[in-house]
């Protein structure tokens, strides 16, 4: 187990649950953090900052665009991506110094965190589409008698 100087890992929400701490119920969230693949490394000379691009999830090769296939060609050759699967999500994580891993390395949760570490989770909610004023602002319709109309 090697701890690396990266404070971010990609994952997806599995389900919600609860646990009891000293008699009070505390909501908990199960998050699946799969192996993240290093897809690109930004350096100070070329890009002006140190950063690592991580890939998470799986997507078929036929469902990706040609420019994205060219971008991810390096990791497809270096790591053992099964059945031509490419990462579904790509996110860039800024670093303070030069990273010690290379393109194609696989990062697991045990490489970053120890048991008992407290982590902050940030998520993106599912979109609800364009909503009307009743749903969006939690307003209610007025009773019919106030508007003198036939209901």
* DSSP label at residue 143: P
Task: Give the model confidence (pLDDT) of 59-96 as tens digits.
Answer: 888 888 888 888 888 776 655 545 567 889 999 999 88
Indicate whether 6 belongs to any domain. Answer: no
Domain annotation covers residue 2: no
Query: Is 89 among the domain residues?
Result: yes
Question: Is residue 7 one of the residues assigned to a domain?
Answer: no
Looking at residue 53, what is its pLDDT?
Answer: 93
Query: Which residue range(s) make up the domain with 60?
Result: 12-126
Domain total of the chain: 1
Instruction: Report yes or no on 148 lying in a domain.
Output: no
pLDDT reported for residue 1: 42
The pTM assigned to this predicted structure is 0.70
Q: What CATH number has the domain bearing residue 23?
A: 3.30.160.810
Which residues of the chain, if any, have pLDDT below 70? 1-5, 76-84, 141-151
> What are the residues whose beta carbons fall under 8 Å from the beta carbon of 138, sequence distance 6 or more?
none
Domain contains 145? no
- Residue 88 is assigned to a structural domain of this protein: yes
């Amino acid at each position: 187990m090697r701890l690396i100087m990266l404070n971010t890992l990609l994952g997806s929400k599995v389900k919600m649950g609860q646990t009891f701490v000293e008699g009070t119920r505390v909501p908990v969230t199960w998050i699946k953090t799969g192996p993240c693949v290093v897809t690109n490394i930004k350096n100070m000379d070329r890009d002006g900052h140190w950063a690592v691009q991580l890939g998470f999830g799986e997507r078929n090769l036929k469902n990706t665009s040609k420019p994205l296939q060219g971008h991810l060609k390096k990791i497809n050759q270096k790591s053992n991506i099964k059945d031509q699967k490419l990462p579904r999500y790509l996110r860039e994580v800024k670093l303070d110094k030069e990273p010690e891993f290379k393109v194609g390395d696989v990062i697991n949760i045990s490489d970053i965190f120890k048991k008992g570490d407290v982590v902050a989770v940030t998520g993106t909610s599912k979109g609800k589409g364009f909503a009307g004023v009743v749903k969006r602002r939690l307003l209610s319709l007025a009773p019919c008698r106030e508007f003198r109309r036939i209901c």
